[in-house]
Each structure stands twice: as structure tokens, then as C-alpha cells.
Amino acid sequence: MKKDTIAAISTGMTNSGIGIVRISGDEAFHVIDKIYKGKDRLKEAESHTIHYGFIIDEEETIDEVLVMLMRSPRTFTGEDTVEINCHGGTYVVKRVLETVIKNGARPAEPGEFTKRAFLNGKMDLSQAEAVIDVITSKSEYALQSSISQLKGSVKNKIEDIRKQIIYHTAFIETALDDPEHIEIDGYGDTLKGVVENQKAEIWQLIASADSGRIMKEGIQTVIAGKPNAGKSSLLNVLAGKDRAIVTDIEGTTRDILEEQICLGGLTLNMIDTAGIRNTDDIIEKIGVDKAKDYVKNSNLIIYVVDASRPLDSNDKEIMGLLKDRKVIILLNKSDLNTVITKENLKEELKLVLEENFAEEIPMIDISAKEEQGLSEFEETLNEMFLNGDVSFNDEVYITNIRHKAALTDAYKSLEKVLESIENQMPEDFFSIDLMDAYESLGSITGETIGEDLVNEIFSKFCMGK
């Protein structure tokens, strides 16, 4: 890695109150001394202090600033670091950065500050990847999961498993090298119990990936129902704005409307579809076909039923699309005289779907117009996807696809160890597959990963982070 001094704008490029230009590297203090004018000599100042003054480009004053000084190793990157807090106008922040670069720093590459933190041992790779997840978090659960990983939840869990693996691998290798002094007969029985426990721990992490993905990426959610059931009204209420056109005319929504909504700490990537019904209108029919396709590919179907009107053939067709899917049924228009009850609807569902599946579908009375029943919907959503309350104190959630793949590889390697034990293979077969599992897990923390993959991971970071 290049060890020269780098600089970048670390705040968003919008006109705001404050902009921050970050400098990191051996020459960071030398660079700031050349462009700073104030009563203090920054090169001699104590670490973790803030100084008031001006940024100067030769004889021209660029801006009035506060400069924060942080000396190695107690910094984010582990290097000498300077942060210039200037006024947040787009032009003035760029001028400050240009002045910094002109006087000895070079522009940082995307994610290079965090990459240096990783390479300098300030964090492992799973923590470094959590940094970008914190930045891109779109819900409370996504943020808390990312913070948990940033604190080392994944790192600690992986390190514990790897310590056990390397201990038993080392014992086997030592015993094979010195059979006169170390007895290894029957060690397979001891190792079997250890490997089964490790497999169970890894499987628990793999199993958490579905919940982790939902926390991070959100739930692909489709609102389905026949025309005028109140789908668009529901979208508007949940979005907190008039996102969709609402009228008494059937078939108003003909295309797909998408909106990202945060509800109960989760993100819903919500899609409002055309009302599903038989129609001769060519344009509306295209919308109906699209609606059916989205229903088939969603994580969650919100089936909105107009409880003020009897069920008809369109409802029966929609019910047929619900088979083996995650579904929440909302009986809308509870503020009117309703003609459909939960019991009626459940009986109709049993005629179309398997009885056990129909029994398990949650049903909630709501009024999108009066905004009633939405808190129960929120609670049901949480129970369905995250099994109620989520604690990040002792539970680890895998949110990274790369981590899940590495865990899966490690799991398969441990399965091979058990097969070798079962088939009474020589002990050196055990250590080969144990080391494969050890290496796979090490790729999560970054201990067994190539430079090319490191570069690829950090290239996805935003500039200045």
C-alpha cells in the first residue's frame, strides 16, 4: 500500500454548515503547517486538540477554520491525522482540499482511510465493511446491526471458532511429528464432539443471514388486491405523503409505484401494483400482468381486501397467488359498514389454499383512510421477519453475502472432517480439512485474503471514508 499522505473531503458535497477535509499520513502535520495561519504552531501542539485559525494559499486567505490534530496511533487510520473543519459551501471545501493537495498530500482513493485502518490493525475486515453499512443504513435494525459488527460482534465470534480449530489442528500435527511422546489414538472421538459444536455455531450464523439481509436491504413488499380496495391509500399513509393517485374510479393505478418505507425499525421496499382483475383494457391488462409477476417475486405480499364489498372472482384469483408465500391480509375500510369478517375470509382461503397455510395467515382490520390498525400491522411485520424483539447484545447477524459464502465453505470443510472421522481415516486427513475451515473463516476477518479482494472491497466505499 502507498504510505504517502492522503487527503479527501469527508462530508457530503452539498452546501451545508460545515465541511470537513481529512488528511492522513506521515506528512499530515507538515502539510497543515504550510497552509494554516493562527496563534498556535500545529507541529508542536498536543494530540487531540482543536485550533482556531485560517487556511492560506500563499497570500490568499481561503477560509476561517477549526483544525483538529490527532497523532498516531490513537487515530482512525492509525496514522497522524488532521481534520480541517471549514464552512460547508461546495466551492470553499473544494478550495481547501486543492490547497492541501497543492502542499504535499495526494487525493485519497475511495475507502482509503478505512483501508489504512484495516491494514494498520485498527480494525479487522468485518469491522471495516461494517463502516460502509453504517453509512448506508436505512432503518433502525440495519443501523444497530452495523454498529454491532463495527464493535466486533462478527470478529469475536469468528476468532473464537478459529482458536478452537487451530488448537486441535496444532495438536494433531504435533502428535504426528512426535508419536513417541503424544498419544493420538482415539482422538477422532474427542474431535468429533468439538467439530459438531463448531458446525452448530457456524450453522447458526448462516441461518441468521436471511434476517440479516432483511435488516440490511429491506423487505421486497408488494401491495396486492382488486381495484379500489385501498392499496394506494395504504401506500400514501405508510409513506406519509401522497405518493399514489387515489380516486373512486377503478383501475386508477396501471403501472408500478415504488416507495421505500421505514416501519417498526425495518425497511419495506414497497411496490403498489395495479388492481388485479379481468379487463379488456390493453393498458390496464399490462399493469395487471406486471402486478402478478411482482407478487411471485416478493418477500412479502400485503393483500388488501375491501371489507365493505363481497368477495368476488378477482379476490379468488389473488388468493391463488398467495400459496407458500409470506402474507399479511389487511381487511381495509373498517370505518364503513363491513360485509367481510376474518372468519368469512379464512373459510374462503381454505377453499383455495391448504388449510394449515390459510390458518396461519395473519389478518388485521384496518382503515387506511382513518389510519387505524397500523400499529398492529407493524407488530405483525416484526414478528414475521425478526421473531419479535431483536437484541444486538448477544446475537450476531450475518448481513454480508461474502461472509455467508465463507461460512458455508467452512461448514462444508467441517462436514468433511466428520466424514473422515466416521470412515476412520488417518489423522492427517482431519487437519487438512480443519485448516480449510480455518482459512475460510479467516477470509471474513481479513487474515487470509488476497490484496486484489481487499482492493475490490474498499473500492466500493465512498470517497473520504
Q: Could you give the CA distance from residue 379 to residue 150 in angstroms, rounded to a whole number?
A: 28
Q: Could you give the CA distance from residue 441 to residue 155 in angstroms, rounded to a whole number?
A: 10
- Report whether 269 contacts 215 (CB < 8 A): no
- Report whether 65 contacts 55 (CB < 8 A): yes
Q: Could you give the CA distance from residue 349 to residue 332 in angstroms, rounded to a whole number?
A: 17
In a 10 Å sphere around its CB, with 0-12 CB exposed, 13-18 middle and 19+ buried, how is residue 51 labelled?
A: middle
Please report, in range form, the residues annotated as the binding site for (6S)-5-formyl-5,6,7,8-tetrahydrofolate: 22, 83, 122, 465
- Report whether 235 contacts 257 (CB < 8 A): yes
Q: Could you give the CA distance from residue 358 to residue 29 in angstroms, rounded to a whole number?
A: 68
- Report whether 19 contacts 66 (CB < 8 A): no
Q: Could you give the CA distance from residue 49 to residue 162 in angstroms, rounded to a whole number?
A: 40
Taking only Cα atoms into account, the Rg of the chain, rounded to an integer number of angstroms, comes to 29
Please report, in range form, the residues annotated as the binding site for GTP: 228-233, 247-253, 272-275
Identify the three-state secondary structure at position 16.
strand
Q: Could you give the CA distance from residue 17 to residue 11 in angstroms, rounded to a whole number?
A: 11
**What are the CA-CA distances from residue 196 to residues 103, 185, 437 (Å)?**
59, 20, 13
Please report, in range form, the residues annotated as the binding site for Mg(2+): 232, 253
Please report, in range form, the residues annotated as the binding site for K(+): 228, 247, 249, 252
Please report, in range form, the residues annotated as the binding site: 22, 83, 122, 228-233, 247-253, 272-275, 465
Q: Which three cell numbers stand for residue 120?
A: 494498520
- Report whether 88 contacts 15 (CB < 8 A): yes
